[in-house]
Structure 1
Amino acid sequence: MKISVSTPSRICLFGEHQDYLNLEVIASAINLRFRAEGTKRDDRIIHVRLKGEGISREEVINLDEEIVYENNRDYIKSAINVLRRNGYEIESGFDIYMDSDIPIGKGMCSSTTMVVVFIKVLLELINHEDKDNPEKIALLGFEAEVTEFNEPGGLMDQYSSAYGGLLHLTFDKDKTVVEPLNTEIPGCFILFDSLEDKQTTKVLASAKYPVLEALDELKQYGIGSIRDFVDDEKNLAYLEKLSPAKLVKVKANIDNYKTLKEAEEMFGTGVDSVKLGELLKRHHGNLRDGLEISTPKIEEILETAYENGALGGKINGSGGGGCCYVYAYEKDAQKILDEVCAKGYWGVILKQDSGVRVDS
């Protein structure tokens, strides 16, 4: 019997560059998906065929031999090792075919979705009860992708993909708190590829570390988090202790946290499309001017979209290239897509989508 499963990519609505500050994120699953089909074999070989945008490879894994990693992103093998180490009994072999329409290396969590969908199809094939547990799948995915290779990374992508829909995530030091938001967002999102590779190392050096250093400098004044500036505005006086370079980045994170809280309140009462667009623009403005993670090509995409009716938009992912998206009324979506693509960029109209699932 063939088992078919899939899992979604995501866009980060609010909270970009806030997860590593132990703050919050609001993300939405979208209808770009990683798919997997699996059937049982009569031996103990797991044969994986993987195809997608920019990827094509095969993995042949013998369950009777030690599974050794060939590189630090050997995620198919790490997923099997993590499952077995956690007590999941994989006794027989399987033929698994995987494909995806998610852009690779563009901040669209293609690696995470590959790991999540692979774990999902294995749990379905061995008929384990955790196959229907999105939190367990997310945590197993995080262990296989991040913990196993001692890499930096948060849990936003794993939770967004496994749960689907619209999620509010709070990244406390000891636990990630997941709150599904039962809010249907009207209109649509339009994703665009800037055709620039992300400059992750450069972005982390310019956006992440100066803020962490600034918070460390302010510990002596009782400041432990960006939240402290929002919960008690008297703490804003301590900002004058920072250098100008760090000050602008901390201020950007303070306003982005305020923006997220305003959006959270709106999602609780119903979405005002114009306000959602304004909040997205405000968030991106802080990412562009404060954290300096945008690029001229991303700005060209956004400006062209605004000229043709988009309500708001922002960079998606860590920045320095990769993808961005805009939010618009459905009636304006095709015109926006056509005008931006006419400048040489790739784009696609998106809708909110469900999480990891079995497909008919």
Structure 2
Amino acid sequence: MKVSVSTPSRICLFGEHQDYLNLEVIASAINLRFRAQGVKREDRIIHVRLKGEHIEREEIIDLDKPITYDHNRDYIKSAINVLRRKGYGITSGYDIHMDSDIPIGKGMCSSTTMTVVFIKVLLELMNHPDKHDPEKIALLAFDAEVAEFNEPGGLMDHYASAYGGLLHLTFNKEKTCVNPLQTEIPGCFILFDSLEDKQTTKVLASAKFPVLEAIHELGEYGISSIRDFVENEDYLMYLEKLSLARQVKVKANIDNYKTLKEAEKMFASGNIDSERLGELLKRHHGNLRDGLGISTSKIEEILNTAYENGALGGKINGSGGGGCCYVYAHEADSQKILDAVCDKGYWGVILKQDSGVRVDK
């Protein structure tokens, strides 16, 4: 019997570059998906065919031989190794075909969705009870993608893809708390590709490690989190202990956390002020651009063109340094905005909210 599964990409509304700081994120799954179809083989070979935007490759994995990595980010093989190491008995071979309409290398979590959907199809083919558990799937995918290769990423993409919908995620050190938000956001989001490739791990490291080092440096004053500066403003005086470069990054994260909390209150009230939501997205992006330095001239051209044609707000999506961005707008203005930006040579698409990892008919 053939099994068909898929999982969504996501946009991060608030909390970009804050999941790995054990803070909070508000994200939405969108209707760009990674798909996989699988069927059992009579031998112990896992044969994977992958096709996507500008990518086509094949993996042949013999379960009777040690599975070694040909390169960093060898996520198909790492997913199998992680599953086996955690006691999931993969005893049969499978033919698995994978494809995607998610932009590759653009901050749209294409590698995460590939890993999530690959683990989902394996669990379905194995008929393992964890196939119904989005949190287990998210954590397995995180181990295969991030922990296995000691990469600097966080958990947002894995949870957003596995759970779907609109989520408020709180990343405590002990456990990630998942709060599905039932609020329906009026208007729409429009995704744009800057046509610039980026080095995700390099951008993540430049934004992540200086902040973690700064928090550690201020530990002697009782500071252990960005959250401390918001809950007790007396701690702000200690920022002068940091180098200027670290001060800028920490201050950007402090204001982005405040921005998220304002948005969280709005979503919890169920009364969405579209203009205010747009302003908060602009403010978040300003901190990412000026504080963390992850925007580019092309991203700024896209956003400014969209604003000139009626967009209410917008931001870079993902780790930054290229890739994709999106804007928020009234539906009546969406086509005008899309056309204006695409006329400058960029690719764009109007987005809808979508469900999480699932079995498809």
TM-score range, shorter chain: over 0.9
TM-superposed CA distance for 1:210, in Å, is: 3.1
Q: Distance in 2 between matches of 1:106 and 1:72?
A: 18
Match for 1:39: what amino acid? V
Aligned residues of 2:120 and 2:357 also touching (Cα < 8 A): yes
Indicate the residue corresponding to 1:326 in structure 2: 327
1:26-47 superposed Cα distances (whole Å, 9 cap, x missing partner): 1111111000011122222221
Q: Distance in 2 between matches of 1:93 and 1:3?
A: 14
TM-superposed CA distance for 1:17, in Å, is: 1.5
| Partner SS state of residue 159, structure 1 | helix
| 1:128 lines up with 2:115 in the alignment | no
TM-superposed CA distance for 1:220, in Å, is: 2.4
Indicate the residue corresponding to 1:75 in structure 2: 75
Match for 1:311: what amino acid? L
Call closer, same or farther: CA 1:87–1:218 in 2, change over 3 Å: closer
| 1:164 lines up with 2:164 in the alignment | yes
Q: Distance in 2 between matches of 1:94 and 1:205?
A: 36
Call closer, same or farther: CA 1:339–1:21 in 2, change over 3 Å: same
Indicate the residue corresponding to 2:104 in structure 1: 104
| Partner SS state of residue 61, structure 2 | strand
Q: Distance in 2 between matches of 1:144 and 1:181?
A: 28
Q: Distance in 2 between matches of 1:90 and 1:216?
A: 42
TM-superposed CA distance for 1:169, in Å, is: 1.4
| Partner SS state of residue 319, structure 1 | coil
1:277-324 superposed Cα distances (whole Å, 9 cap, x missing partner): 111011011111222211111110000001111111001111111111
Q: Distance in 2 between matches of 1:204 and 1:35?
A: 27
| 1:302 lines up with 2:303 in the alignment | yes
Call closer, same or farther: CA 1:139–1:202 in 2, change over 3 Å: closer
Q: Distance in 1 between matches of 2:210 and 2:48?
A: 42
Taking structure 1 as the reference length, the TM-score comes to 0.96
Aligned residues of 2:39 and 2:95 also touching (Cα < 8 A): yes
TM-superposed CA distance for 1:354, in Å, is: 0.5
| 1:190 lines up with 2:203 in the alignment | no
Q: Distance in 1 between matches of 2:177 and 2:147?
A: 19
Aligned residues of 2:116 and 2:138 also touching (Cα < 8 A): yes
Q: Distance in 2 between matches of 1:281 and 1:157?
A: 22
| Partner SS state of residue 71, structure 1 | coil
Q: Distance in 2 between matches of 1:194 and 1:333?
A: 18
- Map 1:1-360; keep pairs closer than 5 Å: 1-200=1-200, 203-204=203-204, 206-270=206-270, 271-360=272-361
TM-superposed CA distance for 1:206, in Å, is: 4.6
- Which 10-residue stretch deviates more, 180-189 or 309-318? 180-189
TM-superposed CA distance for 1:352, in Å, is: 1.0
Q: Distance in 2 between matches of 1:184 and 1:125?
A: 35
1:116-154 superposed Cα distances (whole Å, 9 cap, x missing partner): 101111111111111110001111111111222222221
Call closer, same or farther: CA 1:61–1:241 in 2, change over 3 Å: closer
- Which 10-residue stretch deviates more, 194-203 or 157-166? 194-203
Call closer, same or farther: CA 1:245–1:90 in 2, change over 3 Å: closer
Structure 2 unpaired stretches of 5+: none
Structure 1 unpaired stretches of 5+: none
Q: Distance in 2 between matches of 1:288 and 1:92?
A: 48
TM-superposed CA distance for 1:241, in Å, is: 3.0
TM-superposed CA distance for 1:328, in Å, is: 1.0
Aligned residues of 1:7 and 1:33 also touching (Cα < 8 A): yes
Aligned residues of 1:206 and 1:292 also touching (Cα < 8 A): no
Number of positions where the alignment pairs a residue of Structure 1 with one of Structure 2: 360
Aligned residues of 1:27 and 1:166 also touching (Cα < 8 A): yes
Q: Distance in 2 between matches of 1:348 and 1:29?
A: 15
- Which 10-residue stretch deviates more, 242-251 or 109-118? 242-251
Match for 2:315: what amino acid? K
TM-superposed CA distance for 1:246, in Å, is: 2.6
Q: Distance in 2 between matches of 1:312 and 1:259?
A: 13
1:159-197 superposed Cα distances (whole Å, 9 cap, x missing partner): 111000111111222322222112222221111111112
Match for 1:219: what amino acid? G
Match for 2:170: what amino acid? T
| Partner SS state of residue 59, structure 1 | strand
